[in-house]
Amino acid sequence: MAKSYVIAARRSPIAPRNGAFAAMSLADLARPIVLQVLADAHLTPADVGELIVSNALGAGGNPARIVALGAGLQERVAGLSVDRQCAGGLDALLIADALIRAGQHDVVIAGGVESYSRRPLRAQTFADGRPSAPYDQAPFTPWPDRDPDMAAAADDLARMLDISKADQDALAVQSHARARAASHPELTPLAGISRDPFTRDLTLRHCDRAPVVSGTITAANMAVAADGAAFVVMVSERIAAKLGARAVAFVAGCTVGADPELPGIAPIAAIETVLAKAALTPADLLRAEVMEAFAVQAIACQKGAQLPEHIVNPQGGALAWGHPVGASGAVLAARLYHHLCQTNGAGLAAIAAAGGIGTAIVLRAD
């Protein structure tokens, strides 16, 4: 069967909302990253067959088309927008893989971009004539009593699995420390910013003083809302061989639905499914990039999927830089790609999304 390969991957710095990137549009955030991955791949805009963009908080209207035109891709590149909330950045890669294996395109750029700072205001309307009412979180199920606030759902998960606030705070401190100590070759400077500005010397004392969001969930042990972009170049086997680039194979990927009241552990089923598809066990993996939207969610997924602790986010995670919702999955993929470029073997990226959705992919470098 035909295969697809990742041959380049980059991300922007991740900046908290209303921070360094607050004035930038989706096209402004995405353009430099799209052009950088093309340059890394030794390709031109004319080589691109399709651009797939995950975006969760925008106003619709096919953001991918805006990004494609803004980045100077040819007009024939229509752009395909994906909204699976947090999981969309990895789902963009799954779609790119399917298009390439089906012979539709030889070169696809896939990833995500999010401006939390410039997300539109939303209001619910009513048929009975009541005034419209603003809302922040869109509904993710048809049942209000089974559609929890994300922080409240994370606290429920902590109680269910007996994961203490101390455990969550310890992971947050570790994530910042690892991110500060690591190099980040996947990062492309943007608007004069060359590092993730949120990453800091977090301590347990800071965690003790952090504002409580819901129960054991605090501002310190959950990822900050953020702006950013990340993209990869995926190509057919023919193009990978022609370019002679360091190609990392897209081995398998899947998205699964799970209990919408416990969205944080949805990736466990996705991880188990994708490892089975790839004929791998957790012990076979060199690296796992697991989303840290909440510390409790990352702990639960690592333990529930039986991932060796030392391979999970050894260079930090989203607790240390933030959560640009639609782009976060692509950030994980970019980080995984750059690690696998330095070695041979398989790696995993996995993420949870509101509504009880989990996505996971396996990449391999040989």
* Residues catalogued as catalytic: 86, 323
Judged by DSSP in three states, 83 sits in: coil
Helices vs strands, H then E, count in the chain? 11, 14
Map residue 220 onto helix, strand or coil.
coil
Enter the DSSP assignment of 190: B
Specify the DSSP element, H or E, that contains 267. helix 266-277
CA 110 to chain centre: 12
Helix (H, G, I), strand (E, B) or coil at 134: strand
Q: Exposed, middle or buried, 191 (CB in 10 Å: 0-12/13-18/19+)?
A: middle
How far is Cα 266 from Cα 356, in angstroms, rounded to an integer? 6
- The distance between the two most distant Cα atoms of the chain, rounded to a whole number of Å, is 63
Return the beta strands (E) in 173-280 as ranges: 212-214, 217-218, 226-236, 248-257
Residue 232 DSSP SS3? strand
